[in-house]
Structure 1
Amino acid sequence: MVTYGDVRKWRPKPLDDAERALKRKSDRLLGLSDEYSDMGTPARWIGDAARAAQETRKHITNRMEWLVAGVSATRTALAKAADAIGGLRSGVEEAETLAHKHGFAIGGDGAIADVALPQNVPADQRDEVQRERERIWFELQDRVEQILRRASDIDNDLATVLHKVATGQIGDGGATNLAAAAAAGAKLGWLSTVEPPPGKGSPGDNAGWWDTLSADEKNWIIANRPDWIGNRDGIPFTARDQANRRTLAWEKQRLLAERNRLSQYARTQHARGGSATDVEARLRFLDEKLQSIKAIEGALAKPGERQLLLLDTSSERAEAAVANGNVDKADHVAVFTPGLTSNVGDSLGQYDANMAQLKYRTEGELGRYGDGGSVATVSWIGYQAPQIGETIGDPNSVVTQGAAERGAAKLAPFLQGIDTARDSDAHVTAIGHSYGSTTTGLALRQNTGVDEAVFLGSPGVGTSNVDDLKVPDGHATYIEAKSDPVGDLGRFGKDPTHLPGMGQGSSAEANLPDGRHLSGVTGHTSYLEDGSTSQYNTSVIVGGMPERMVRGDNRGLGDHPELWGMRQ
């Protein structure tokens, strides 16, 4: 059984050296191929001796072909194992670096030990520090598990090939010359590409698995099995984007082909005077999915860097997440989750535009008053948000918490996967609007590593105790516009306006100390309107400058200047 201590010692060089030595011998054998082929029985030599010579030559030729096939299989297996161990080494180094950075150590048995507990932590930061350490501990545990899984796979695959060579089980595939035998043997020396962790895997599992793969294996997966990684939290978002774009093209072609087939069937039925009601319902379903794909394509085609972080057409309505900017590299990342009526086909375009504006405004504030860092914003429609027309008895109804709970189960690992997939942590903000704020609040009851939370026009964040939200104390903010009836419902927990510990941001018209004027918003749908106070407040929070927020009372009096001010 392979141990973590064993894997620490693994290096690809001995395997590379052995492969090169075999290559030299293989090249010598192949070099003799033409010469040996030219050695035939003299044309006038007949009789028993001639026949014996022919049989001997045939036996030697077959033996050489099997020998070359075995050498070739061994060379291939050694080269692939060396390449795989190079990837495995990267996974070990990632785990060791993460452990050292946070004061942990990984033992030879794979156990995670806390060796440098932070000292003199201020009392108001202890919960936050403890949460972060727990998150890292579990991530390290997952990474070690995947390292050992990958190491066992490499070990077993290489041992299997070598055993087959040693016991003569590697054949020449019926080759009639040495070159063909070498090619046949090479095919039998390939190692398997280990599949992702079972199920969806935790972000730590997925990151640990991906980090153990070689560059060739990663490229093969993106090209041939994009479904393995497109929606797998913890995988770098650049790779997810490449995989999902590939899947998007395939899925579009599949849906179009099915639509054409059903359309032809429906026309035939109508021509015969028959009914095609079921087929027509299926065609409407396909049209909705194709409309969603069109919306995704439109968002990805807009100026600026875009990433397709999530794509799922298997549910009743398509689910997707599109980023403005590079989530793997941005200093600040914001994830926006919408609510009632949100769906990819009808809503993604507007949300993507809002997120593009928010990114631009946040980077502007960072240029004026912050660290000048980069920003990525994400429109996350990764769940089946309630729709108009769903009855009270529907499990997805807006009057129940079911859809939010199911959405939170998907949103939480997505949020956690942001830092897990990166070499360095981002400053992460979760933004939820309307029913999406309930979804966001429920997701934040898990340890996601989110640094800031912004709730817009919320019917409740899924709790009546702000301490249930696992974000740093004082870093959850509520913004409610005048004349927003949803913001006063308090259906899913206490009205956030009256939730102790919840910060209150203004949505009213305001003038900033630097002379800029911000417009006010009213109602339920304009919180991210460009140039508004609510958008400004969201932008400074996303940029890690909540002290610059225009504060508000949010009790229907937010338009009164005496109730807000700049924090100093």
Structure 2
Amino acid sequence: MTVTIRIPASEPTIRRPQGDPGSVDAVARALYVAAGRYEEFGDLAATAKAVPGWYGDAYDAYAAAASRASGEHATMAATLKRVAHVCSGHGDTLTDLLHDCDALEDTKVWLDGSRDNLVADVAAARDATPEEVAALQDRAQNLRTGYRSLVLDHEALQRKVRANEDLMRTAFEGAVALERILGPGGTADPLASGAMGRPGAPGHGASPTQVAEWWSTLTAAEKEAVVATYPDVVGCADGLPADARDQANRITLDGDLDLLAGKEDDGTISSLEARTLANARAAGTALDRADGYVDPTTGETPGGQLWLYDPGAFDGDGRIAVAVGDLDTADDVAVRVPGITNDGQDAPTLTQEAINVYQSATYRGDGSTIASMMWLGYDAPDAFYDTATLTEGRAEDGGERFADAIDGLRASRPHDAAHLTAIGHSYGSTTLAHAATDHHVAVDDLVLVGSPGAGGGVDHASELGVGADHVWVGRNSEDLVAALGDHGWVGAHTLAGAGLGNDPSEDDFGAHRFEAEDVTRSGWHRGTGQHGNYFNVDTESLYNIGRVVDGHGGDVRLADHTYDPWYEGPQDPEQDRTPTSDEAGRSDTVGGRP
């Protein structure tokens, strides 16, 4: 009896996307530099309008011409910048498409090899048993399924390629006619501008939930167009997925680096622009560090996300948030609020500390996925001993901003809520406390380390909104800043009036205090040297923070609380304990406690 085994044809023919991302990026850089030139001339024309001592019709004509030139050049600068944004996004997307194509080609090679083997096995089959025939038919069916899936994936790739090309073509075609550039519509992509005109779009007062719902209604092509055309809006829009914000912020970052570096080279950069450029470079370094991190526990590269990027905010201090891991999908998410003296140029250091938290949570963890973000989204005080540090105004403002940020994170994952831990360090702990008490920040656990106080009017951990059992405090006994909180009936101690609320490590406050001593402490001197060590590798503090982030508070190493007897000043039992150095969650840690 003859049995026919239908072997599927090898399909499809893989078509690679055309173009070189590096060349596209070079065009984007040139456009950014040109935009900078137009911007400079526009600023010069605006300044040159005022000529002391010149009056009359001639001056009026001159001033009108200068105003017109200033406006036209500003519009041209914005147009070139917008096209450059699209160009930069096109290059990034092209890189992704080429990687996707590589994966399809690998799959095709594997399927073709399996097909060749099947052809050979069928040809060699003689007097095959029914079982052997059935096995050959199953292999043929699996091949048909594999090729069909590959065809569908290839068609999807080609649709993305066409959408990417169309977006780029539309951007350049819109920038050809001068009358269109200077007209009310500008050169915005119609697909993107149409999407941004719908209810719920960011930038028009929509809530994070409304923004998330708006995003869910967009097609893939509309999302791509919106990100490429309005990256500065998308990158800061609470409620949008972290991946979309990351794509948008990378485009804006690339543009700032190219445009401002061009002004730096020309010697026309202002002092604010110079600080903005420094922050942009710091953000780029931080992002590279997050992108390149390899988890020593799993050997995987979780990748980085630029969740917030506004390098010129707060008079050049900047607003930046960088994460390691995927904020859109992680089971456990940690967000850290830094404190005094931190600004945008500290992004690389803060990102490394976020990486340390990520590593601590995964090491000895339960296998859950982790994302760890440093959030510098408020105007932290500039120095230890300035008026902003000694008052709570910036903590109150920062608390509102942080609560909004968390609302945005929550809204972007409406059906997949993460276990979310907020970590406040130094003045950032006071900021976090205000987010909790003033705005009911939507987190599961609060961690306060190196805290100068939990905010005025907060007497107990239960007032922070997550339940006292979910408030965790780390205080190094030699940390001067952590000793500034108010104690007992005496009130603020040595530095009277310097506290920013009650010391959260004290017994009366009711939080869990965990071990946070460091082997580098002197054993006798209280100062600021230990204040920055809470996120260092191979420390008690980092180990315990990792356990909270991973959702295993029962594994935290608790410490005795500080207390304030009536007959003398505040006491810290941790001063007499010998610190350990094997609790970091570092993959090469051996020995130590079980």
Normalised TM-score (structure 2): 0.54
- In the TM superposition, residue 544 of structure 1 has moved relative to its aligned partner by 0.2
Relative distance call for 1:362 and 1:488 in structure 2 (3 A) is: same
Matched, 1:226 2:226: no
For these two proteins, the number of residue pairs brought into alignment is 345
* Counterpart check, 1:410 vs 2:393: no
Q: CA offsets, 1:404-459, max 9 Å, x none? A: 11111211111222222124011100001000101111112223320111000101
Indicate how the Cα distance of structure 1 residues 189 and 209 shifts in structure 2: closer, same or farther if over 3 A, else same: closer
CA gap of 1:210–1:258, structure 2 versus 1, over 3 A, is same
Offset of residue 468 of structure 1: 2.7
Conserved 8 A contact 2:337-2:432 = yes
Residue 493 in structure 1 maps to residue 501 in structure 2? yes
SS at match of 2:364: helix
Q: Please state how far the C-alpha of 1:283 moved relative to its aligned partner.
A: 3.3
Q: 1:254 to 1:548 in 2, by over 3 A?
A: same
Query: How many Å separate the matches in 2 of 1:417 and 1:296?
Result: 21
2:306 is equivalent to residue 308 of structure 1: yes
- Residues 260-279 of structure 1: pairs in structure 2 closer than 5 A: 260=265, 263=267
The Cα offsets for residues 250-308 of structure 1, whole Å up to 9 and x where unpaired, read as 222332344455x25xxxxxxxxxxxxxxxxx733322221111111111112130100
SS at match of 1:255: helix
Distance 2:532 2:231 in 1: 36
Q: 1:563 to 1:241 in 2, by over 3 A?
A: closer
- What is the identity, as a one-letter code, of the residue corresponding to 1:441? A
Query: Is the counterpart of residue 531 in structure 1 residue 535 in structure 2?
Result: no
Q: Secondary structure at the match of 2:271?
A: helix
5+ residue gaps, structure 2, are 1-188, 294-302, 486-498, 520-527, 563-571, 581-593
* CA RMSD across the alignment: 3.0
Question: Is the CA contact (8 Å cut-off) linking 1:481 and 1:522 kept in structure 2?
Answer: no
Correspondence for 1:482 among 463, 477, 489: 477
Number of the residue aligned with 2:444: 451
Query: Does 1:546 pair with 2:537?
Result: no
* Alpha-carbon separation, structure 2, partners of 1:460 and 1:203: 30
Say which SS state the counterpart of residue 421 (structure 2) adopts. Answer: strand
Could you give the per-residue CA deviations for residues 371-393 of structure 1, whole angstroms, max 9, x where no partner exists?
A: x111111011111111028843x
* Distance verdict in 2 for CA 1:563–1:298, change over 3 Å: closer
- Residue 322 of structure 2 is matched in structure 1 by 322
1:306-352, Cα deviation, whole Å (9 max, x unpaired): 1000011342111100001111111111001110100111x211111
Preserved contact between residue 280 and residue 311 of structure 2 (Cα < 8 Å): no
| Contact 1:337–1:436, Cα closer than 8 Å, also in 2 | yes
The structure whose Rg is larger is 1
CA shift for structure 1 position 197:
4.5
1:24-43 equivalence runs, <5 A: none
Q: Which amino acid in structure 2 is aligned with residue 219 of structure 1?
A: E
Describe the shift of the 1:251–1:509 C-alpha distance in structure 2 as closer, same or farther (beyond 3 A): closer
Residue 281 of structure 2: aligned partner: 294
Q: Deviations over 1:30-50 (max 9, x none)?
A: xxxxxxxxxxxxxxxxxxxxx
**Among candidates 245, 254, 257, match of residue 252 of structure 1:** 257
Q: Distance in 1 between matches of 2:191 and 2:352?
A: 51
Give the secondary structure class of the aligned counterpart of 2:336.
strand
Deviation at 1:199, TM superposition (A): 4.3
User: 1:504 is matched with which residue: 513, 537, 551?
Assistant: 513
Alignment partners' CA distance in 2, 1:496 and 1:456: 9
Provide the TM-score with structure 1 as the length reference.
Answer: 0.57
Is residue 388 of structure 1 aligned with residue 383 of structure 2? yes
| Residues in 1 aligned to 2:579 and 2:509: alpha-carbon distance in whole angstroms | 17
Residue number among 413, 421, 431 corresponding to 2:423 in the alignment = 431
CA contact (8 A) 2:305 2:323 kept: yes
Name the % identity. Answer: 31
> Per the alignment, do residues 563 and 503 of structure 1 end up closer, same or farther by CA in structure 2, a change over 3 Å counting?
farther
Determine if the alignment matches structure 1 residue 558 to structure 2 residue 560: no
**Partner secondary structure for residue 375 of structure 2:** strand
Q: Specify whether residues 494 and 258 from structure 1 end up closer, same or farther in structure 2 by C-alpha distance, changes over 3 A only.
A: same
- Output the CA distance in 1 between the equivalents of 2:538 and 2:578: 21
SS at 1:464 equivalent: coil
Question: For residue 392 of structure 2, what is the aligned residue in structure 1?
Answer: 401
The ranges of structure 1 where at least 4 consecutive aligned residues each deviate by more than 3 angstroms after the TM superposition are: 187-191, 197-201, 257-261, 559-564
Listed as ranges, the matches of 1:18-417 within 5 Å are 192-195=194-197, 196-197=201-202, 199-260=204-265, 263=267, 283-302=270-289, 303-304=292-293, 305-315=303-313, 316=315, 317-345=317-345, 347-366=346-365, 370=366, 372-388=367-383, 391-392=386-387, 397-417=388-408
